[in-house]
Amino acid sequence: MSVFIVLLGAPGAGKGTQAKLLAAKTGLPHISSGDIFRENLKNQTELGKLAQQYMSKGELVPDDVTIAMIRERLSRPDCARGAILDGFPRTPAQAEALDAMLAELGGRVGVVPFIDVPEDELVERLSGRLICRAQGHIFHKKFNPPKVPGVCDYDGSELYQREDDKPEVVRNRIRVYLEQTMPLVAYYEKKGLLVKIDGTQPIDKVTEALWAVLPEEAKSA
């Protein structure tokens, strides 16, 4: 049975940073709904243009669109062992849809690490975040600086600031997170899958804490 890891956490909690590290260690694919929307926007697809209308304001893309996109992604062969999910699900309807999809695919949610970071730190993280144009590698001006300013350590591409990391959009993203995504903490707690992780630790310590709670099947490629 395939095993899916659901990373929960506020905007800026470190989901993307940790998902990339865990994907490299486990060999499982990293599936970020935000990255897929941004990739579609870069390619000017209809999905990308639609998603942008919501993302630019810090609102969620409608559930039906998001669920259909993830359904297609999870049906690809590279998800046969499972995946690290980053940013999906983030509403109760998405969580229920994920359970239904996994029941069809013969998979299960193995663990739901909730990366907990206080709000004032989230704002500082997002205001200093830098992303690489080519593959979305994540840096921070102060907390995780690239070796050469403005250049990605991994692929040499240009680093930029995300449009939705402007302070007024960040505030709305946090509000939307508290209203629409926080209910998932109780949803997964009830299922006995939630594990709280202290997201204020240094990046490598957070990775260690996550590694310790991963199911064994996720660790063995």
What is the set of active-site residues? 15, 90, 129, 162, 173
- The closest alpha carbon to 38, from 98, 102, 86, belongs to 86
Mode of pairing for the β-strands spanning 194-198 and 138-140: unpaired
Residue 140 binds to ligand AP5 (criterion: CB under 6 A): yes
Q: Which span sits near Mg ion by CB under 5 A: 10-18, 51-59, 156-164, 210-218?
A: 10-18
Q: Which span sits near ligand AP5 by CB under 6 A: 32-40, 153-161, 189-197, 210-218?
A: 32-40
| Cβ neighbours around 80 below 10 Å, total | 12
Which are the contacts of 135, defined by CB distance < 8 A and separation ≥ 6? 152, 154, 155, 157
Residue 113 binds to ligand AP5 (criterion: CB under 6 A): no
Could you tell me the two tokens for 186?
Answer: 């109780």
CB of 216 to ligand AP5, least distance (A): 25
**Is there a contact between 53 and 42 (Cβ–Cβ < 8 Å)?**
no
What DSSP string runs through 174-203? Answer: HHHIIIIITHHHHHHHHTT-EEEEETTS-H
Residue 137 binds to ligand AP5 (criterion: CB under 6 A): no
**Is there a contact between 138 and 34 (Cβ–Cβ < 8 Å)?**
no
SS3 track for 25-56 = HHCCCEEEHHHHHHHHHHCCCHHHHHHHHHHC
- Tell me the C-alpha distance between 84 and 220, whole Å: 14
Binding partner selected for residue 13 from ligand AP5, Mg ion, none, CB under the kind-specific 5 to 8 Å limit: ligand AP5
Q: Which of 37, 114, 187, 188 binds ligand AP5 (CB under 6 A)?
A: 37
Residue 16 binds to Mg ion (criterion: CB under 5 A): yes
- Tell me the C-alpha distance between 163 and 98, whole Å: 28
CB of 39 to ligand AP5, least distance (A): 11
Binding partner selected for residue 173 from Mg ion, ligand AP5, none, CB under the kind-specific 5 to 8 Å limit: ligand AP5
CB of 220 to Mg ion, least distance (A): 26
- Our CA dihedral for 91, 94, 100, 104, rounded to 10 degrees, sits at -150
Residue 34 binds to ligand AP5 (criterion: CB under 6 A): yes
Q: Which of 48, 108, 143, 161 binds ligand AP5 (CB under 6 A)?
A: 143
CB of 43 to Mg ion, least distance (A): 19
Which positions touch Mg ion (CB under 5 A)? 16
Q: Which residues bind ligand AP5 (CB under 6 A)?
A: 9, 11-17, 33-34, 37, 54-55, 58-61, 66, 87-88, 90, 94, 125-126, 129, 138-140, 143-144, 164, 173, 202-203, 206
